[in-house]
Amino acid sequence: MRENKKTAGASRRKTGRRHPLATVALIAIGLGVTGGAYAAVNTSTASAETQIAAQSTIEEGEKLFQANCATCHGMGAAGTDSGPSLIGVGAAAVDFQVGTGRMPMQMNGPQAEEKPVQFTDEQVKALANYVASLGPGPSIPEDHLTNGGGDASNGAELFRINCAMCHNVAGAGGALTEGKFAPALDTVTGVHIYEAMVTGPQNMPVFNDLNISPEDKRDIITYLQYVQDNRSPGGFELGSLGPVAEGLFIWIFGLGAIVALTVWITAKSN
Protein backbone atom coordinates (compact mmCIF):
# COMPACT_ATOMS: atom_id res chain seq x y z
CA MET A 1 0.00 0.00 0.00
CA ARG A 2 2.68 2.47 1.11
CA GLU A 3 4.78 1.65 -1.86
CA ASN A 4 1.81 2.25 -4.09
CA LYS A 5 1.14 5.69 -2.57
CA LYS A 6 4.75 6.71 -2.80
CA THR A 7 4.97 5.73 -6.38
CA ALA A 8 1.71 7.53 -7.07
CA GLY A 9 3.06 10.71 -5.35
CA ALA A 10 6.31 10.48 -7.25
CA SER A 11 4.49 10.25 -10.54
CA ARG A 12 2.46 13.39 -9.66
CA ARG A 13 5.55 15.36 -8.70
CA LYS A 14 6.87 14.53 -12.05
CA THR A 15 3.92 16.23 -13.62
CA GLY A 16 4.76 19.40 -11.58
CA ARG A 17 1.35 19.55 -9.89
CA ARG A 18 0.75 19.76 -6.11
CA HIS A 19 -1.17 17.15 -4.15
CA PRO A 20 -4.83 18.24 -4.21
CA LEU A 21 -4.96 18.17 -0.40
CA ALA A 22 -1.95 20.46 -0.05
CA THR A 23 -4.03 23.62 -0.49
CA VAL A 24 -6.46 22.41 2.17
CA ALA A 25 -3.59 21.67 4.55
CA LEU A 26 -2.02 25.07 3.94
CA ILE A 27 -5.30 26.89 4.58
CA ALA A 28 -5.85 24.83 7.75
CA ILE A 29 -2.39 25.70 9.08
CA GLY A 30 -2.87 29.34 8.26
CA LEU A 31 -6.23 29.48 9.97
CA GLY A 32 -4.91 27.60 12.98
CA VAL A 33 -2.00 29.97 13.48
CA THR A 34 -4.04 33.15 13.10
CA GLY A 35 -6.87 31.76 15.24
CA GLY A 36 -4.48 30.67 17.98
CA ALA A 37 -2.69 33.98 17.96
CA TYR A 38 -5.98 35.84 18.13
CA ALA A 39 -7.19 33.64 20.97
CA ALA A 40 -3.95 34.25 22.89
CA VAL A 41 -4.22 37.99 22.45
CA ASN A 42 -7.90 37.86 23.29
CA THR A 43 -7.44 35.96 26.60
CA SER A 44 -4.67 38.24 27.70
CA THR A 45 -6.91 41.25 27.17
CA ALA A 46 -9.79 39.40 28.90
CA SER A 47 -7.69 38.60 31.98
CA ALA A 48 -6.43 42.15 31.96
CA GLU A 49 -10.06 43.28 31.95
CA THR A 50 -10.97 41.08 34.96
CA GLN A 51 -7.91 42.35 36.74
CA ILE A 52 -9.01 45.90 36.13
CA ALA A 53 -12.50 44.93 37.31
CA ALA A 54 -11.05 43.30 40.45
CA GLN A 55 -8.91 46.36 41.05
CA SER A 56 -11.94 48.61 40.80
CA THR A 57 -14.00 46.41 43.19
CA ILE A 58 -11.06 46.40 45.59
CA GLU A 59 -11.09 50.19 45.53
CA GLU A 60 -14.84 50.23 45.97
CA GLY A 61 -14.52 47.70 48.76
CA GLU A 62 -11.91 49.84 50.48
CA LYS A 63 -14.28 52.82 50.42
CA LEU A 64 -17.11 50.69 51.81
CA PHE A 65 -14.77 49.31 54.43
CA GLN A 66 -13.61 52.72 55.55
CA ALA A 67 -17.19 53.95 55.77
CA ASN A 68 -18.72 50.94 57.53
CA CYS A 69 -16.10 48.76 59.19
CA ALA A 70 -13.04 50.86 59.98
CA THR A 71 -14.51 52.22 63.23
CA CYS A 72 -13.85 48.89 64.90
CA HIS A 73 -11.43 47.10 62.58
CA GLY A 74 -9.15 50.11 61.94
CA MET A 75 -8.44 52.05 58.76
CA GLY A 76 -6.11 49.45 57.29
CA ALA A 77 -8.18 46.54 58.76
CA ALA A 78 -5.32 45.98 61.19
CA GLY A 79 -7.70 45.80 64.15
CA THR A 80 -8.35 48.02 67.17
CA ASP A 81 -9.35 47.37 70.75
CA SER A 82 -12.96 47.00 69.61
CA GLY A 83 -12.42 44.65 66.68
CA PRO A 84 -9.89 42.07 65.48
CA SER A 85 -7.47 42.47 62.58
CA LEU A 86 -8.88 41.27 59.29
CA ILE A 87 -5.58 40.83 57.51
CA GLY A 88 -5.45 37.25 56.26
CA VAL A 89 -9.03 36.25 57.17
CA GLY A 90 -9.81 35.90 53.45
CA ALA A 91 -12.82 36.58 51.27
CA ALA A 92 -14.73 33.65 52.80
CA ALA A 93 -14.81 35.28 56.26
CA VAL A 94 -16.16 38.56 54.85
CA ASP A 95 -18.73 36.84 52.67
CA PHE A 96 -19.95 34.88 55.71
CA GLN A 97 -19.97 37.71 58.26
CA VAL A 98 -21.41 40.42 55.98
CA GLY A 99 -23.46 38.07 53.79
CA THR A 100 -25.42 36.74 56.78
CA GLY A 101 -25.86 40.23 58.27
CA ARG A 102 -23.69 39.50 61.32
CA MET A 103 -21.40 42.38 60.34
CA PRO A 104 -21.55 45.31 60.64
CA MET A 105 -22.39 44.55 64.25
CA GLN A 106 -25.35 46.41 65.67
CA MET A 107 -24.34 46.33 69.31
CA ASN A 108 -22.02 44.56 71.69
CA GLY A 109 -23.36 41.32 73.09
CA PRO A 110 -22.40 37.75 73.81
CA GLN A 111 -22.12 37.20 70.04
CA ALA A 112 -22.93 38.92 66.76
CA GLU A 113 -26.33 37.69 65.66
CA GLU A 114 -27.78 37.10 62.22
CA LYS A 115 -29.83 40.06 60.99
CA PRO A 116 -31.02 41.49 57.65
CA VAL A 117 -28.06 41.89 55.29
CA GLN A 118 -26.90 45.52 55.12
CA PHE A 119 -25.24 45.45 51.68
CA THR A 120 -26.03 44.36 48.14
CA ASP A 121 -24.34 41.27 46.75
CA GLU A 122 -21.95 43.42 44.72
CA GLN A 123 -20.99 45.44 47.78
CA VAL A 124 -20.36 42.25 49.80
CA LYS A 125 -18.21 40.97 46.96
CA ALA A 126 -16.30 44.27 46.82
CA LEU A 127 -15.67 44.17 50.57
CA ALA A 128 -14.55 40.55 50.29
CA ASN A 129 -12.19 41.40 47.45
CA TYR A 130 -10.72 44.28 49.43
CA VAL A 131 -10.10 42.17 52.56
CA ALA A 132 -8.73 39.29 50.42
CA SER A 133 -6.29 41.73 48.84
CA LEU A 134 -4.79 42.53 52.26
CA GLY A 135 -3.38 39.05 52.80
CA PRO A 136 -3.90 35.46 51.68
CA GLY A 137 -6.85 33.66 53.30
CA PRO A 138 -9.64 31.24 52.46
CA SER A 139 -11.59 32.29 49.37
CA ILE A 140 -15.29 31.93 48.62
CA PRO A 141 -15.91 28.21 47.81
CA GLU A 142 -16.80 27.07 44.33
CA ASP A 143 -20.36 26.16 43.48
CA HIS A 144 -19.79 22.41 43.05
CA LEU A 145 -18.71 22.16 46.70
CA THR A 146 -21.74 23.91 48.11
CA ASN A 147 -24.67 22.78 45.95
CA GLY A 148 -25.37 19.61 47.96
CA GLY A 149 -24.32 17.06 45.37
CA GLY A 150 -22.37 14.87 47.81
CA ASP A 151 -22.90 11.78 49.94
CA ALA A 152 -25.45 12.53 52.65
CA SER A 153 -24.65 9.49 54.83
CA ASN A 154 -20.93 10.28 54.97
CA GLY A 155 -21.88 13.88 55.71
CA ALA A 156 -24.18 12.73 58.51
CA GLU A 157 -21.38 10.75 60.19
CA LEU A 158 -18.96 13.68 59.96
CA PHE A 159 -21.65 16.07 61.18
CA ARG A 160 -22.34 13.87 64.23
CA ILE A 161 -18.63 13.71 65.09
CA ASN A 162 -17.61 17.31 64.42
CA CYS A 163 -20.69 19.54 64.56
CA ALA A 164 -23.64 17.91 66.32
CA MET A 165 -22.42 18.57 69.86
CA CYS A 166 -23.04 22.29 69.39
CA HIS A 167 -25.42 22.54 66.42
CA ASN A 168 -27.68 19.59 67.44
CA VAL A 169 -27.82 16.37 65.42
CA ALA A 170 -30.65 17.76 63.28
CA GLY A 171 -28.92 21.14 62.92
CA ALA A 172 -31.43 22.84 65.23
CA GLY A 173 -28.75 24.75 67.15
CA GLY A 174 -27.98 24.78 70.87
CA ALA A 175 -26.82 26.81 73.85
CA LEU A 176 -23.20 27.55 74.73
CA THR A 177 -21.78 29.37 77.74
CA GLU A 178 -22.65 32.85 78.98
CA GLY A 179 -25.41 33.68 76.50
CA LYS A 180 -23.61 32.46 73.42
CA PHE A 181 -25.26 29.86 71.22
CA ALA A 182 -24.65 27.75 68.15
CA PRO A 183 -27.26 28.90 65.61
CA ALA A 184 -29.77 26.66 63.85
CA LEU A 185 -28.61 25.63 60.39
CA ASP A 186 -31.94 25.11 58.64
CA THR A 187 -32.00 28.44 56.80
CA VAL A 188 -28.27 28.80 56.18
CA THR A 189 -27.11 28.50 52.56
CA GLY A 190 -24.50 25.94 51.56
CA VAL A 191 -21.94 28.64 50.77
CA HIS A 192 -22.25 30.18 54.23
CA ILE A 193 -22.00 26.77 55.95
CA TYR A 194 -18.82 26.05 53.97
CA GLU A 195 -17.36 29.46 54.79
CA ALA A 196 -18.17 29.04 58.48
CA MET A 197 -16.34 25.71 58.58
CA VAL A 198 -13.26 27.15 56.86
CA THR A 199 -13.04 30.38 58.84
CA GLY A 200 -14.45 29.52 62.28
CA PRO A 201 -16.52 32.65 62.89
CA GLN A 202 -16.70 33.94 66.47
CA ASN A 203 -16.46 31.01 68.90
CA MET A 204 -16.83 28.26 66.32
CA PRO A 205 -13.57 26.33 65.90
CA VAL A 206 -11.88 26.29 62.49
CA PHE A 207 -12.30 23.11 60.41
CA ASN A 208 -9.58 23.48 57.80
CA ASP A 209 -9.28 21.34 54.68
CA LEU A 210 -6.84 18.94 56.37
CA ASN A 211 -9.34 18.26 59.14
CA ILE A 212 -12.44 18.01 56.95
CA SER A 213 -11.56 17.84 53.25
CA PRO A 214 -13.51 20.00 50.73
CA GLU A 215 -15.37 16.88 49.56
CA ASP A 216 -16.28 16.02 53.16
CA LYS A 217 -17.51 19.58 53.66
CA ARG A 218 -19.67 19.14 50.56
CA ASP A 219 -21.07 15.91 52.09
CA ILE A 220 -21.90 17.72 55.34
CA ILE A 221 -23.78 20.40 53.38
CA THR A 222 -25.56 17.63 51.48
CA TYR A 223 -26.63 16.06 54.77
CA LEU A 224 -27.96 19.37 56.11
CA GLN A 225 -29.94 19.94 52.92
CA TYR A 226 -31.29 16.38 53.17
CA VAL A 227 -32.48 17.05 56.72
CA GLN A 228 -34.17 20.26 55.56
CA ASP A 229 -35.89 18.61 52.62
CA ASN A 230 -37.04 15.41 54.34
CA ARG A 231 -39.45 15.94 57.15
CA SER A 232 -39.06 13.92 60.31
CA PRO A 233 -40.68 10.46 59.98
CA GLY A 234 -41.58 10.61 63.66
CA GLY A 235 -44.04 13.47 63.13
CA PHE A 236 -43.97 16.80 64.94
CA GLU A 237 -40.31 17.62 65.69
CA LEU A 238 -40.90 20.03 68.62
CA GLY A 239 -37.92 22.06 67.39
CA SER A 240 -35.75 18.91 67.08
CA LEU A 241 -34.49 19.69 70.57
CA GLY A 242 -34.73 16.12 71.82
CA PRO A 243 -35.56 15.16 75.40
CA VAL A 244 -35.92 18.72 76.69
CA ALA A 245 -38.76 19.74 74.38
CA GLU A 246 -40.29 16.28 74.34
CA GLY A 247 -40.17 15.96 78.12
CA LEU A 248 -41.73 19.38 78.60
CA PHE A 249 -44.47 18.51 76.11
CA ILE A 250 -45.36 15.23 77.77
CA TRP A 251 -45.25 16.68 81.29
CA ILE A 252 -47.54 19.55 80.40
CA PHE A 253 -49.89 18.05 77.84
CA GLY A 254 -49.66 14.33 78.66
CA LEU A 255 -49.99 14.68 82.40
CA GLY A 256 -52.39 17.60 81.92
CA ALA A 257 -54.68 15.35 79.88
CA ILE A 258 -54.50 12.62 82.54
CA VAL A 259 -55.38 15.12 85.28
CA ALA A 260 -58.26 16.52 83.22
CA LEU A 261 -59.61 13.02 82.53
CA THR A 262 -59.38 12.09 86.21
CA VAL A 263 -61.29 15.21 87.19
CA TRP A 264 -63.94 14.46 84.57
CA ILE A 265 -64.33 10.81 85.61
CA THR A 266 -64.74 11.60 89.31
CA ALA A 267 -66.89 14.72 88.91
CA LYS A 268 -70.58 14.31 89.62
CA SER A 269 -72.75 14.18 86.57
CA ASN A 270 -75.37 16.89 86.52
Question: Can residue 88 be called a binding residue for another protein (CB under 8 A)?
Answer: no
CA atoms within 13 A on the CB side of 230: 10
Interaction residues for another protein, span 215-244 (CB under 8 A): 230-235
Question: Can residue 34 be called a binding residue for another protein (CB under 8 A)?
Answer: no
| Residue 240 three-state SS | helix
Q: Is 73 annotated as a binding residue?
A: yes
Q: Is 69 annotated as a binding residue?
A: yes
| Cα four-point dihedral sign 146, 151, 154, 155 | positive
* CA distances from residue 30 to 17, 27, 82, 99 in whole angstroms, order as listed: 21, 5, 65, 51
Cα–Cα distance measured from residue 146 to residue 221, given in angstroms and rounded to the nearest whole number: 7
**Residue placing its CB nearer to another protein in the complex, 58 or 163:** 163
Q: How far is the CB of 210 from another protein (least distance, A)?
A: 4
Question: Can residue 80 be called a binding residue for another protein (CB under 8 A)?
Answer: no
Q: Are 74 and 80 in contact (CB under 8 A)?
A: yes
- Binding-site member from 24, 122, 203, 247 for another protein (CB under 8 A): 203
**Residue placing its CB nearer to another protein in the complex, 66 or 162:** 162
The conformational region for residue 78 under phi > 0 = left, psi -120 to 50 = alpha, else beta, is alpha
Q: Is 144 annotated as a binding residue?
A: no
Q: Which amino acid is at 217?
A: K
Interaction residues for another protein, span 143-162 (CB under 8 A): 157-158, 161-162
Q: How far is the CB of 129 from another protein (least distance, A)?
A: 23
- Residues at the interface with another protein (CB under 8 A): 157-158, 161-162, 165-166, 174, 176-178, 180, 182, 200, 202-208, 210-211, 230-235, 264-265, 268-270
